[in-house]
């Protein structure tokens, strides 16, 4: 049984759907030939071991070709998922960077508010009216 070597089974490219289809079509044609051979061999009386070899060998060859096709398809899927993973990682990296920037800005603002409240507290230490206000502001800032 001949195998056409025009299309390498390990070819990996961006647009190899026609190559995969050609390989699949060729494998199906070989299965049809193998099934026809098996049917004809059942009609003709032959020794059992020869019958077994002639029937099973083409089917196994077809199974191997289908497995090669599946491996090629899986490699393409793996490559596509790898590219998708890189894109997602890049997106997450940008989002993490943005979150870090926002977190830093919030911490900076909290620090400035606390400094202002400390300044207010030190200048109005003897003022009974400002003390509860300071405590409320401090609690509000610490809950952020």
Q: What does the pLDDT profile of the chain (144 residues) look like in tens digits? A: 444 444 444 444 555 677 777 887 887 787 777 777 666 555 555 555 555 555 556 666 777 777 778 778 888 888 888 888 888 888 888 888 888 888 888 888 888 888 877 777 666 665 554 444 444 445 555 554
Q: What is the pTM of this model?
A: 0.35
How far, in Å, are 10, 70, 83, 104 from residue 13 at the CA level? 10, 16, 13, 44
SS3 98: helix
């Amino acid at each position: 049984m001949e195998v056409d070597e025009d299309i390498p089974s390990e070819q990996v490219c961006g647009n190899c759907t026609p190559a995969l289809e050609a390989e699949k079509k060729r494998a199906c044609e070989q299965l049809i030939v193998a099934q026809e051979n098996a049917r004809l061999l059942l009609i003709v009386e032959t020794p059992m071991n020869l019958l077994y070899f002639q029937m099973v060998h083409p089917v196994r060859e077809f199974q191997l070709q289908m497995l090669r096709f599946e491996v090629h398809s899986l490699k393409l899927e793996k490559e596509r998922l790898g590219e998708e993973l890189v894109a997602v990682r890049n997106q997450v990296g940008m989002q993490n960077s943005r979150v870090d920037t926002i977190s830093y800005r919030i911490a900076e603002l909290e620090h400035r508010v606390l400094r202002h409240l400390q300044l207010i507290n030190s200048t109005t230490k003897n003022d009974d009216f400002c003390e509860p206000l300071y405590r409320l502001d401090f609690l509000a800032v610490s809950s952020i």
